[in-house]
Every structure is written in structure tokens, then in C-alpha cells.
Amino acid sequence: MSITRRLLPALAFALLIPVSAVPAKAADPALQALIDGPQRSEKNSARDKYRHPLEVLTFFGLTPDQTVVEILPGAGGYWTEILAPYLKANGHYIAANNEKASTSPDDQKDNAALAAKLAASPQNYDKVEVTEFGADRVAIAPPGSADLVVTFRNVHNWMADGETAGAFAAFYKALKPGGVLGIEEHRGDPSKPQDPLAKSGYVREDVIIGFAEAAGFRFAGSSEINANPKDTKDYPDGVWTLPPALLLKDVDRAHYLAIGESDRAILKFVKP
């Protein structure tokens, strides 16, 4: 029997294995040490049981020598507290926050809070580069310079603003060939039509994959690390009914706390 004929059954079997089933690389102990480190706020650390930062960043392929762009890290800086010190010595962390020219008071407040956070801890953040994110209106990083672009629970906002095409185009432009786009989003019910404005905050995985592929990305897999089967996705105030927002305040608070944070898609894409 020829080598080719012997390989065909194995190849056929391999093609049936979903990308997400490929074994993940081993987590970096240095990354875990920073996740457990004193530079993190108690408020952010308390959410690790829902957000699983070690597993998510490992799935995205983070290494300490990469150039990483985080889209809209925000005032809380959950991922900034981890990524900035991890990349400080040998990599480069870029925080692409709101546009400086934005007239939104919330955007300006958010930018000011992030700046204050960075200034308050130069031992962790003095190497951070702050850029702007505004869909494709401004560059988040020099073209072809980033190894990894990450964004967490933002796709629904771009859908509401009609800026998904511009956002994904900006990610594609910033990444090197072979670079990775990592996305976390509140996962919509695949059995229900997708609201084009994502008013509930939930977005179906296939819709996100469609946005990325339209921009030129190749889907490279998904992770169930932030899945939450208790999330029914049918709340009065959308995903913000759940923690941490808890928009209904004391109304059925114990019920929503028992559900926990939302069911989330973790998706990985590669720029060819």
C-alpha cells in the first residue's frame, strides 16, 4: 500500500476534529503569578471565577514577547492589570481606548480614569502605550505591527453603532500576517434571530464569525471556558440584568447573583 493511501484514513479522521478540540498549550506560570499578584484590584480579582483570565489568554496564544493591543480596556483595567506587567520586559502592551476627540462625557471620563490608573502605578504601567479606537477612523497600532489584538464584550456596541465593519477592518490592518484576533462576547441563542442592533447585549457566535471572515480573518477555534448554562438570555434589561451590572438592583437580586455573569463566547481568529 502506498504512503498516500495509508495516510488518507488518518487525514480524514483529523479533518473531523473541531478546531476547538486541539489541545491548548501549557499555561505560563509567570502569567498565573501576575493574575495572583498584588497589582490587581480586589474588585477585578473577584471576577476571575467568571472570566478565567489564565485560560482565556493562554487560548489566545499570549506570550511575553508579543505586541498586544487591547481594544477599549476601560477605566476598570481588568486585563490591563495582567497584560501590562506581563509584557513590560520583553513585549509591548497597547491600550486602544476611546477617541480623544469624542464628545461623549462617558468616553472622556473613561479615558481620564485609565490615564489616572496608569500614572498611579509606574512600576507596572510606565511602558504602556495608549492609542485610540474609533472603528477604522484612527489607527490602533502601526499597520502589520501587532501579534495579538484582544477585545472583551464589545461587539454588541459596534453593532448598535453600525461600526462592526470598521472595527474588524482596524484589527486586520494592525495585525501581522499570522497574527491573532481574540474575542469575548456575551453569547446569543443560536436558535433565535439575531437583533442587528444587539440591544440585549447578546451576539450569536455565527454572527461574530461572519463579521471577522468578512474582514479577511480565518476562524481558528473557540473555547467553552466562560460558558454559563444557567444564563437564559431573556432578561428585562438584557445581559445587564446579570452581575456585575445588576440593573434591577434589589429586584430578584439573589436569583441573578445565583446565575452569575453571562454565558460568553471565546473566539479566536487568524489573519492569513
* Residue-wise pLDDT tens digits, 104-151: 999 999 999 999 999 999 999 999 999 999 999 999 999 999 999 999
Q: Are 149 and 178 in contact (CB under 8 A)?
A: no
pTM of the full predicted structure?
Answer: 0.91
Residue 149's closest CA among 226, 73, 48, 52?
A: 73
Residue 216's closest CA among 269, 149, 266, 176?
A: 269
- 14 HSE (CA, 13 A, CB side): 5
The string of pLDDT tens digits covering residues 195-222 is 999 999 999 999 999 999 999 999 999 9
List alpha helices for the chain, DSSP H. 3-16, 29-35, 42-45, 48-51, 53-60, 80-87, 105-120, 122-125, 155-161, 164-174, 205-214, 253-259
Spell 159-171 as b/e; 16+ CB within 10 A means b.
beeebbeebbbbb
Q: What percent of the chain has pLDDT over 90?
A: 90
Tell me whether residue 47 is exposed, middle or buried, using C-beta atoms within 10 angstroms of its C-beta: 0 to 12, 13 to 18, 19 or more: middle
What residues does 19 pair with on adjacent strands? none
Kindly list the structural domains of the chain, giving each domain's residue range(s) and its CATH number in brackets, ordered by start.
Answer: 25-230+264-270 (3.40.50.150)
